[in-house]
């Protein structure tokens, strides 16, 4: 019995040598490590071993160095007291912000200056008290890192430009967002995330599950233009939560999925398989959905596409050619096929020489949630106009984001009521912003005026 007791005593974990114990402890989470510190004096000492907390500081707070005289354990506990509420979100959001800033510093440096310092816990708590709703922890965590951006153009959350249309979405600071918090029927308990001065467009986040919305999902509101009740608002869904919405956008930016044009992030999506090469000429296509020019009721979906035509730099000088015409075959999701052909592209007849790139943007609308387009260009050689050939335009798909209808909708043709609701949402946010810069107020006023002056639904164009 004495021998067995001695053997059992020898197997006690806290009596093992330090090295194997520290190796075991290195696999524990910070919570389990803290729990171990209460088991015995020896484990209490070992659980504070500096290298253990160095790796935890790197994992949870992304720290790579510590001030002289401060242990990694102390640094972890100090940070946890401030940000512990967000420990499951912080490393992901912090990494996304750092990646975004590094990218912007190289490609869009003036955007860096528009970012605001992070909000405090007290400020976020005050906002919750002001709006009477709880902010999700992933949203709060991101705003502890950066409190949105200043009300400037271009907006951090992407731009889009056509010949007569421009959109650039600012990531709103939490104070401005709270001023645009919606309480009216159809948009109850919705907090704006972004705002565009030119179009009045905003993305919103639902802070409560109401009126057909799911809690914390983000969306573009889209008034039902066939409903008698102006509170009937459809939604184009852009994310299931703030974390997904923000990190997904950052990923597209830093990986080059979204092109940088004139120091702005343009929200064109390029399918890497959407490339076709004919001889020395390569054609690639990227597309973008415009929610501000689209509607679910009636079904009207607006897309823009950007086409890049490039002649190989190693092509022979005799291969130089000029584009004469275009041909499109358009197939909708319900099987309808439309063919379009015409001279040039957007009124131009580009000449292609070795190494030259020609890019242009055009648009199309359709009444089904998805369609695809394909076709060809007709060129002639500059050295011999009789030599005519076709260059393939690869098939590219255009699919609108998921959308959802409100719980109750009454069908009618009251388009005016729906437009009035859109303007009220815009005016609510613009009035609160109270920007000190006159230029910002002028831009907002021009945006509202443009909505009155311009038709909301352009006719279908395929250029």
- Taking residue 434's Cβ as centre, other Cβ atoms within 10 Å add up to 10
Same domain, 271 and 367: yes
Same domain, 221 and 274: no
Structure tokens at 185: 């029927």
CATH number at residue 365: 2.60.40.1470
Residue pair 218/245 in contact by the 8 Å Cβ criterion? yes
Number of domains within the chain: 3
CATH number at residue 197: 3.40.1580.10
Same domain, 137 and 220: yes
pLDDT at 3: 52
Same domain, 152 and 234: yes
The answer to whether position 462 is within a domain reads no
The answer to whether position 52 is within a domain reads yes
Picking from 20, 52, 84, the residue at the C-terminal end of a domain is 84
Measured CA to CA, the distance from residue 129 to residue 100 in angstroms comes to: 31
Same domain, 22 and 140: no
**Helix axis angle, 121-131 relative to 137-145, nearest 10°?**
130
Q: Which residues of the chain have pLDDT under 70?
A: 1-11, 14, 408-463
pLDDT at 113: 92
Picking from 84, 110, 129, the residue at the C-terminal end of a domain is 84
Measured CA to CA, the distance from residue 375 to residue 270 in angstroms comes to: 18
**Listed residue (107, 153, 210) closest to 439, CA to CA:** 153
**Cβ neighbours of residue 253 under 8 Å, at least 6 residues apart?**
100, 103, 265
* Element of type H or E holding 44: helix 41-46
The answer to whether position 344 is within a domain reads yes
The answer to whether position 340 is within a domain reads yes
CA dihedral sign of residues 65, 144, 108, 435:
negative
Measured CA to CA, the distance from residue 211 to residue 200 in angstroms comes to: 22
Structural domain including 183 reads 93-250+404-453
Same domain, 127 and 222: yes
Same domain, 115 and 238: yes
pLDDT at 406: 79
The answer to whether position 414 is within a domain reads yes
Same domain, 99 and 71: no
Distances (CA, A) of 172 to 9, 114, 155, 165: 62, 11, 10, 22
Could you report the per-residue pLDDT of 193-204, keeping only the tens digit for each? 999 999 999 999
pLDDT at 459: 45
Same domain, 388 and 285: yes
Same domain, 363 and 279: yes
Residue pair 212/404 in contact by the 8 Å Cβ criterion? yes
Model-level pTM greater than 0.85?
no
pLDDT at 413: 41
Picking from 56, 84, 112, the residue at the C-terminal end of a domain is 84
The answer to whether position 293 is within a domain reads yes
Residue 196 DSSP SS3: coil
pLDDT at 447: 42
pLDDT at 121: 98
pLDDT at 7: 52
pLDDT at 272: 87
- Taking residue 44's Cβ as centre, other Cβ atoms within 10 Å add up to 13
CATH number at residue 61: 1.20.1280.50
Residue 417 DSSP SS3: helix
Same domain, 308 and 446: no
Give me the residues paired with residue 160 across strands: 167
The answer to whether position 257 is within a domain reads no
pLDDT at 185: 93
pLDDT at 133: 97
Same domain, 121 and 212: yes
Measured CA to CA, the distance from residue 262 to residue 271 in angstroms comes to: 22
pLDDT at 458: 42
Residue pair 242/218 in contact by the 8 Å Cβ criterion? yes
The answer to whether position 463 is within a domain reads no
């Amino acid at each position: 019995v004495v021998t067995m007791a001695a053997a059992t005593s020898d197997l006690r974990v806290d009596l093992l040598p330090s090295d194997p114990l520290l190796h075991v402890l290195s696999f524990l989470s910070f919570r389990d490590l803290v729990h171990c510190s209460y088991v015995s004096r020896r484990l209490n000492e070992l659980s504070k071993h500096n290298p253990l907390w160095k790796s935890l500081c790197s994992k949870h707070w992304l720290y790579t160095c510590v001030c002289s005289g401060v242990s990694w354990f102390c640094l972890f506990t100090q940070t946890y007291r401030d940000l512990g509420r967000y420990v499951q979100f912080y490393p992901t959001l912090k990494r996304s912000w750092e990646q975004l800033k590094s990218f912007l510093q190289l490609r869009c440096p003036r955007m860096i200056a528009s970012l605001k310092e992070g909000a405090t816990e007290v400020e976020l708590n005050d906002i919750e008290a002001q709006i009477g709703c709880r902010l999700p922890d992933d949203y709060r965590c991101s705003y502890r890192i950066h409190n949105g951006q200043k009300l400037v153009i271009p907006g951090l959350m992407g731009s889009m430009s056509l010949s007569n249309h421009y959109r650039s979405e600012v990531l709103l600071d939490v104070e401005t967002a709270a001023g645009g918090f919606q309480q009216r029927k159809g948009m109850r308990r919705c907090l704006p995330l972004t705002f565009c001065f030119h179009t009045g467009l905003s993305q919103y986040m639902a802070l409560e599950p109401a009126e057909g919305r799911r809690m914390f999902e983000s969306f573009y509101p889209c008034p039902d233009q066939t409903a008698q009740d102006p509170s009937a608002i459809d939604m184009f869904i852009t994310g299931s939560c703030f974390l997904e919405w923000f990190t997904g956008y950052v990923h597209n930016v830093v990986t080059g999925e979204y092109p940088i044009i004139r120091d702005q992030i343009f929200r064109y999506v390029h399918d890497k398989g959407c490339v076709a090469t004919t001889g020395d000429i390569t054609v690639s296509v990227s597309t973008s959905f415009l929610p501000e020019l689209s509607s679910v009721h009636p079904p009207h979906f607006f897309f823009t596409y950007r086409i890049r035509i490039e002649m190989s730099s190693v092509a022979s000088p005799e291969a130089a050619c000029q584009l004469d015409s275009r041909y499109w075959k358009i197939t909708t999701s319900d099987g309808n096929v439309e063919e379009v052909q015409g001279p040039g592209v957007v009124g131009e007849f580009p000449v292609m020489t070795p190494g030259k790139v020609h890019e242009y943007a055009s648009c199309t609308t359709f009444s089904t949630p998805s369609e695809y387009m394909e076709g060809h260009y007709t060129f002639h050689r500059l050295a011999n106009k009789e030599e005519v050939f076709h260059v393939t335009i690869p098939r590219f798909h255009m699919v609108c984001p998921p959308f959802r209808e409100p719980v109750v909708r009454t069908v009618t043709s009251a388009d005016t009521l729906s437009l009035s609701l859109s303007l009220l949402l815009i005016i609510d946010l613009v009035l609160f912003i109270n920007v000190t810069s006159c230029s910002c107020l002028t831009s907002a006023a021009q945006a509202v005026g443009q909505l009155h002056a311009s038709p909301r639904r352009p006719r279908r164009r395929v250029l």
